[in-house]
Amino acid sequence: MSLDQLIKNCKRNNAKAQEELYKRYASTLFSICLKYSPNYADAEDTLQDSFMVIFDKVSQYKGKGSFEGWLKRVTINTALQRYRKHTVLDIINEEKIQDVNVEVDQESISLDFLLGIIQELPDRYRLVFNLYVLDGYSHREIAKMLDISEGTSKSNLARARVILKDKIEAIKSRPLRQTQTR
């Protein structure tokens, strides 16, 4: 079935079409859920919530732009709504932090390790880092999405980078044998 026909059938609440849509996009959207969730179980819940929203709002998709892009935006927004609903953001002293560059030697540090340390970031930092670095949102957009100031978004990104840099440098300073087992 073509994507256009699949979308039309989903707009008619056709259960078979919804199942097909889920099968086509669940793994792609789950990877987004993992980025924005503190753990695997929460990511699974976010994926289910996202598909409920997608099926409910698919009639709002007017065929402008990529359907997959629309699905991803719905999923990110669902993850952020879950975060806002379940988390009280701590107010912290947002002092200026110098932006840092993180040098990664791809041969000594695995992608799984990098994704793991990103996942370990405090929620606020992980969300801002993912939105800015991995999904390309501006600080203005992030501020609006998370209901924070642009300065707080920039500060959270800088703090996330400092934490990641420290963890990467700690791994790099370990003997080679220990680093390879990660």
What is the Cα–Cα distance from 178 to 182, expressed in whole angstroms? 7
Is there a shared CATH topology between the 3-86 domain and the 111-180 domain?
Answer: no
What is the Cα–Cα distance from 148 to 162, expressed in whole angstroms? 20
Please check whether residue 42 is in contact with residue 89, taking contact to mean a CB–CB distance below 8 angstroms. no
Task: Encode pLDDT of 10-31 as tens digits.
Answer: 999 999 999 999 999 999 999 9
Specify whether domain 3-86 bears CATH 3.20.19.10: no
Instruction: Provide DSSP, 52-72.
Output: HHHHHHGGG--S-S-HHHHHH
Which residue stretches of the chain are H helix?
3-11, 15-36, 40-57, 67-86, 111-119, 123-129, 139-146, 150-172, 176-180
Fold of 111-180: Arc Repressor Mutant, subunit A (1.10.10)
Tens-binned pLDDT, residue by residue, of the chain (182 aa): 899 999 999 999 999 999 999 999 999 999 999 998 888 999 999 999 999 999 999 999 988 889 999 999 999 999 999 887 765 444 444 444 444 444 444 455 677 888 888 888 998 899 999 999 989 999 999 999 998 999 999 999 999 999 999 988 887 777 655 445 54
* Radius of gyration in angstroms for the set of CA atoms belonging to the chain, rounded to a whole number: 19
Give the angle 71-76-82 at the CA atoms, nearest 5°. Answer: 125
**Domain residue extents for the chain:** 3-86, 111-180
Question: What is the C-alpha end-to-end distance of the chain, expressed in Å?
Answer: 43
